[in-house]
Amino acid sequence: MTRRIVTPMIDLETVRAETPGCDEIIHFNNAGCALSPHPVTHSVISHLQLEQRIGGYEAASQAEKEVANFYTQLAQLLNCESSEIAFMESATRAWQSALLSLDLKAGDEIITAGNEYVGNYISILALARHRGIKFRTLALDADGLIEAEELDKQLSKKTRAILVTHIASQRGDIQNIKAIGEIARAEGICLLVDACQSVGQVPLDLQEIKCDFLCGTGRKYLRGPRGTGFLFARDQSTASFIPPVLDLQSASWDAAKSFTVKKNASRFESFERNLAGQIGLGQAVEYANSLGMTHIAARIQSLADRLVVGLQSLQGVRVHELSERRSGIVTFSKTGTETGALQSHLHQQSINTSISKRNNARLDLDREMQGDVIRASLHYYNDCSEIERFIQVIDRF
């Protein structure tokens, strides 16, 4: 497929100037943890300094506007209500809280797929081992995608949840969550989407994506601080689901022997949290909103296309994405080279990448690969000269 060349509408000079790391390194590890822009770092440090000066609780009272910004910006990014968003410490905690709020019983079934994130899959295995939950794992098709029709066939009366990772950590194919959402909605089955690698990378419209829960993390394509994440819980379909852990934020203690759980997504939140991180994540989402997700996605896509073409032109290099639904995550290997040694060599040349390990993708990479693969993940602030340099270093290694 030839992709349309989209003129990126992002002012590269400005975004690079606001990303100090660009002067020092070539950062192709955005799927691990992206470089935060100045306004994000500034907002985090300012709040920490305020806490240092006047006290943590007092700083929280003064920062109500900045905290509220997190909900309004994320609601704008995802096209949902701000009351449907909970701040979480990580995507893993968000995903687990959502799934456990379904109050699954022995014999209930859940469905996942071969691209599932390692942490999520371990939780599924634990649910099966300790609580008797049954699960099915859909094999990916030859293009590395989940076939919606195949998923439909696997549903049974006992299916309580469909779990889908939108873009996997180990490989950059984009799953068709809209088609999966249609099936889940038609069957009345809860759909939980892991959008860790897609939020901030591709547009997500929750009026079009018919999921009930969606979780994301702050540090990756959103460019937020570490230790931050979020959960979207659709009001219409999840209001009666009670999170596995409650506290004074998620519920109120009405009388000595009674309590009421909050109605909106804040029932998934904890009272204690990294407030500076939450404010910083709000800033990061505001930054993405101001650039526009369509522009961000188009620029990432055109950079990734360029990288793939460059890699494919090199002898012995194989790109491992299988479909035409590719993202900014590009995985590859080079015949005769050890992945760890190549990554270290890149690191010595001030180029950051990461490794997709077979052990963390046992149902996916393990099917076809002899070893681990290099993951280069691009963001809109990367540029073409960085890609050229990268290709050159790989070629010479």
Catalog residues that contact ligand PLP under the rule CB under 6 A. Answer: 90-92, 117, 119, 165, 168-169, 194, 196-197, 217, 229
With H, G, I as helix, E, B as strand and everything else as coil, classify residue 19: coil
* Residue type at position 117: Y
**3-state DSSP call for residue 249?**
coil
Q: Which is nearer to ligand PLP, 165 or 201 (CB)?
A: 165
Which residue number, 172 or 310, has a Cβ lying nearer to ligand PLP? Answer: 172
Nearer to ligand PLP (CB atom), residue 217 or residue 270: 217
* Contact (Cβ atoms closer than 8 angstroms) between residue 287 and residue 223: yes
CA angle, residues 318, 395, 35, in degrees to nearest 5: 80
Q: Which residue lies nearer to ligand PLP by CB, 18 or 92?
A: 92
Place of tokens 């390990």: 357
Minimum CB separation of residue 21 from ligand PLP in Å reads: 19
Nearer to ligand PLP, 229 or 243 (CB): 229
**Shortest reach from residue 88's CB to ligand PLP, in Å:** 8
The least CB distance from residue 172 to ligand PLP, in Å, is 11
CA–CA separation, 147 and 261 (whole Å): 38
Nearest to 200 by CA among 342, 73, 68, 296: 296
The structure tokens listed for 285 are 């989402």
Residue type present at position 87: F
Decide: helix, strand or coil at residue 91: helix
Of the candidates 302, 305, 317, 322, the residue with the CA atom closest to the CA atom of residue 172: 322
Q: Could you tell me which of 52, 26, 44 has the C-alpha nearest to residue 281?
A: 44
What is the C-alpha to C-alpha distance for residues 224 and 253, in angstroms, rounded to an integer? 34
- Minimum CB–partner distance for residue 157 and ligand PLP (Å): 29
Residues contacting residue 142 through CB under 8 Å, at least 6 positions apart: 322
In this complex, which beta carbon is closest to ligand PLP, that of residue 78 or of residue 317?
78
Q: Name the residue nearer to ligand PLP (CB basis): 97 or 159.
A: 97
The nearer residue to ligand PLP, 169 or 339, going by C-beta atoms, is 169
Residue for token pair 């999966």: 180
- Nearest to ligand PLP of 51, 269 (CB atom): 269
Cα–Cα distance, 319 to 375 (Å, whole number)? 10
**Which tokens sit at 95?**
């995903």
CA 27, CA 299: separation in Å to the nearest integer? 16
